[in-house]
Amino acid sequence: MPTQAKSERLMNLVICLLVSRTFVPKSRIRQIVGGYGEQSDEAFERMFERDKDDLRELGIPIQTGSNDPSGDEEPGYSIRRQDFELPEIHLEPDEAAVLGLAARVWQHASLAAATSRAVLKLRAAGVDTDTGALAAVEPRVAVEEPAFWPLWEAVRDRRPVTFQHRKAAGDAPARRHLQPWGVQSWHGRWYVVGYDVDRAAPRLFRLSRIVGGVEPVGAPGSYTVPAPAVIRTAADALVPPRQRNLARVRVRRGCGYGLRRRAVTAQRGDGWDLLTVPYADSSVLADEVAGYGADVVLIEPDEVRRRVVERLRAVVGEPA
């Protein structure tokens, strides 16, 4: 099945289980999530089990339970929002980023539309939904990371990989050999965390600094992935300390949840709110603000504002 089709199905499954306030039975999931309904009973069972395994291996915790204390009703599935988001004690609570597939695939406009359809189907089926949970996977315009899917598949298959990686901009790339544990979004950037075979220690690599392709160098299932809590602790320890700067941004009402979560001040206006947002890297903040398109306007500092303008002009093909 094409990667896009599978990504859309997985994303819809995540949204279905994330926004529902109750456990969703498998029979209802089959009706709601696109790609399941046209399958035979046996094919659906195989596909559903594979999808659950893929999401769990990505660190998305799917719970099983029943809405009926007596146990007479069909058991169902759910994702608790507090388990889906990165815990506040790691990676700084004011900038907690979503871990896993849903945050990635939401960056595609076509999949955002598909998610809206999934929520409508849930409501039509009588499922009590909490659309506020969608703030965790808010759609954004983003630059494609070519290394994302090869690393995502390597995490899923527990397959070692090798790639060329620059430690910093301008540095010569160096060959890395990694047993990838997970792909994480942090402060607007994508990273892979895993066991660096050459250094015999956990390491964190930014995907945008990977040069060339990601190549498999071992058999699937050839290493063991630590528990999610161990992975998060390792990633937290590898993150460099951040300098605190402040930016002022105007955010359209109902948008910019990533900025709102870490704002230190907020002034409500007529359809727009003025936020004061801490940041460490002006380039990262410019990427984030530009990603929200017309829903966010950066007021100051001027340095970051210029970077945002450059990115927006590049999108529409105008000279900087």
CA distance 254 to 313: 25
* Per-residue model confidence (pLDDT) at position 98: 33
Query: Identity (one letter) of the amino acid at 8?
Result: E
Rounded to 5 degrees, what are φ and ψ at 33?
Answer: -85, 120
The reported pLDDT for the residue numbered 102 is 39
Q: How far apart are the C-alpha atoms of 176 and 198, rounded to whole Å?
A: 7
Q: Could you tell me where the DSSP H helices lie in 58-167?
A: 81-84, 101-105, 109-124, 148-157
- Say if CB 284 and CB 242 are below 8 A apart: no
In degrees and rounded to multiples of 5, residue 73 shows phi and psi of -85, 160
Query: Which residues does 173 contact at the CB level (< 8 Å), separation at least 6?
Result: 164, 165, 166, 211, 212
Q: Which long-range contacts (CB under 8 A, 24 or more apart) does 129-132 make?
A: 129/19, 129/20, 129/21, 130/19, 130/20, 130/21, 130/81, 131/19
Its sign, for the CA torsion 8, 9, 10, 13, is positive
Give domain limits for the chain: 3-137, 148-238, 245-316
pLDDT for the residue 125: 52
Could you identify the residue written with the tokens 């169902």?
76
Residue count of the chain: 320
As a CATH number, domain 148-238 is 2.30.30
- The distance from CA 299 to its chain's CA centroid, rounded to whole angstroms, is 27
Residue-level pLDDT, tens digit, the chain, 320 residues: 444 467 778 877 887 787 777 888 888 888 888 788 888 999 999 999 988 888 877 667 788 887 666 656 778 888 876 555 544 333 333 333 333 333 334 444 344 445 555 555 555 555 555 544 444 444 443 445 788 888 988 988 899 999 999 887 667 899 999 999 988 766 556 889 999 999 999 999 988 889 999 999 989 999 998 988 888 788 777 766 555 689 999 999 888 877 888 888 999 888 899 999 988 778 878 888 888 888 899 999 999 999 999 888 876 666 65
Alpha helices for 148-293 (secondary structure H) = 148-157, 228-238, 257-262, 282-291
How buried is 282 (Cβ within 10 angstroms: 0-12 exposed, 13-18 middle, 19+ buried)?
middle
Separation between Cα atoms, residue 278 and residue 246, nearest integer Å: 4
